[in-house]
Amino acid sequence: MARGAVTITPVDGPIRGNAAPPGSKSITNRALLLAALAEGTSHITGALKSLDTTLMARALRQMGVDVTEPDATTFVVKSLGRLTAPSEPLMLGNAGTAMRFLTAAVTLCEGKVVVDGDAHMRKRPIGPLVAALRSVGITATDTDGCPPVTVTGAGRFGAGRVEIDGGLSSQYVSALLMAAACADGPVEVALTGPEIGARGYVDLTLAAMRRFGADVEQTGAQAWRVAPTGYRAAEFAVEPDASAATYLWAAAALTGGAIDLGTPASAFTQPDAAAAAVIASFPHLPAEIEGSQMQDAIPTIAVLAAFNENPVRFTGIANLRVKECDRIRALATELNRIRPGLAEEQGDDLLVHSDPTLAGQRLPARIETYSDHRIAMSFALAGLRIEGITILDPACTGKTWPEYWQVLDGLGVRLS
Ligand SMILES: O=C(O)C1=C[C@@H](OP(=O)(O)O)[C@@H](O)[C@H](O)C1
Ligand SMILES: C=C(OP(=O)(O)O)C(=O)O
């Protein structure tokens, strides 16, 4: 979308209709990488085509993998089952999955690989993953704990035990697990440090690995053993994106409407599907929402909370400070831009002082997105009930949902 800003006209009744979220970003980027590590031709259908998956596909092409796109939701990946060191750095924008997954996977190249991202990505921590790679004998350096990362691959992932602190990001754990199946012996991936947030993403990784032929078993509450099977090409169907679904669930809840997504909440395997039940309790959201297992849904629920009957405290969300932007700060700042005093940061908690009378008011606010797709998509929801909400930089939704504004338009939401 070329427009520099979009203003949402509040709806005058419940939103009803059909609207499907795009394919899952998390699953598409796992499938792309696993298909690239498999010898043969894989078909990935129902896939997300967005900036994050385009960056992953481009990086794989740079490493000699043939990735084609016969239609708007399919990737065909033809690979010899190995990656060759690219001549140029892999530039991964602000795609956390691509950045973390590839940092571990490029150890399978022979030679030096630079893995880098944009200015936002260069502030997102990757030190624990790089330290884990070093602990198994891989030459790898980061830049003050962040990208760019330089990895000198030896053409294989070392066998043995690798420990990882996934406290800052579960993506480190997923990255190691996926690369580990290409080692020359069994690898044990063991968690150290605190319990990881968003553990459901590790389950998503294990499921995708198994679909591409991996043999991985959980050996304890905090450890997995990955057999050195490599991967087999597969026919892989991606399910719709649960984080994207939260905007549709919330749009329906906030307007008293009903949107048929074509997929029931119970059919999603992604962690953010847990948000469906929380959103369904609106306008009686719980007084405390522990967000560690549905982190990407928190911006959606926080905006919804502004219209709730009672205040909501969000806990367990410290990791939101190291996402595309500091989402705790961004949510508090932008909610307060709509009406001062609406939200506050308390340590790493976010407290939203709800006010059901916000609906129907005119409260002009130009919402800063911090280049974060979820800030843009979630604050658009406020515009369904409040007059005067303008989202700056609406194109940033292209990271995971380029068609977001068209989908709202298709549901009868007026945008100008
Ligand atoms: O593994 C994944 O696909 C993801 C894991 C989560 O990140 P962290 O593991 O960094 O919390 C989530 O926020 C991100 O959007 C996708
Ligand atoms: C945190 C997110 O993305 P990533 O970590 O994959 O950049 C997200 O999509 O909300």
Is residue 296 annotated as part of the catalytic site, yes or no? yes
Q: How far apart are CA 359 and CA 37, in angstroms?
A: 51
Question: Residue of the nearest CA to atom 11 in ligand 1?
Answer: 169
Greater confidence, 72 or 221?
Answer: 72
- The model's confidence at residue 1, banded by pLDDT at 50, 70 and 90, is very low
25 in a known ligand binding site: yes
Looking at all shown ligands, the one closest to residue 172's CA atom is 1
Q: Flag whether 296 is marked binding.
A: yes
Q: Which of 293, 248, 182 is nearest to 22 (CA)?
A: 248
Where does the chain hold its CATH 3.65.10.10 domain(s)?
5-22+240-415, 25-237
The beta-carbon contacts of 131-137 under 8 Å, at least 24 apart in sequence, are 132/162, 132/163, 132/164, 132/172, 132/176, 133/103, 133/104, 133/107, 135/162, 135/163, 136/160, 136/162
The CATH code that applies to domain 5-22+240-415 is 3.65.10.10
In angstroms and rounded to an integer, the radius of gyration of the C-alpha atoms of the chain is 21
185-242 confidence digits (pLDDT tens) = 999 999 997 777 778 999 999 999 999 999 999 998 899 999 999 999 999 999 999 9
Amino acid at 300: T
Asked whether the beta carbons of 65 and 92 are under 8 A apart, the reply is no
What's the rounded Cα separation, in Å, for the pair 369 and 168?
A: 23
54 within 8 A of 401, measured Cβ to Cβ: no
Percent of the chain whose pLDDT exceeds 90: 95
Determine the Cα–Cα distance for residues 100 and 210; give it in Å rounded to an integer.
Answer: 20
CA-wise closest residue to 267 among 240, 235, 246: 240
Cβ(97) – ligand 1 distance below 6 Å: yes
CATH topology of domain 25-237: UDP-n-acetylglucosamine1-carboxyvinyl-transferase; Chain (3.65.10)
- Give the residue carrying structure tokens 């026919």: 235
- What ipTM does the predicted assembly reach? 0.99
Closest CA to 350 of 377, 310, 307, 315: 315
Q: Ligand 2 atom 7: the closest Cα is on which residue?
A: 96
DSSP SS3 for 13:
coil
Q: Determine if ligand 1 sits within 6 Å of the CB of residue 174.
A: yes
Tell me if 28 CB under 6 Å of ligand 1: no
Catalytic-role residue among 52, 142, 165, 296: 296
Give per-residue pLDDT as tens, 240-256: 999 999 999 999 999 99
Q: What is the pLDDT of residues 371-415, one digit of tens each?
A: 999 999 999 999 999 999 999 999 999 999 999 999 999 999 999
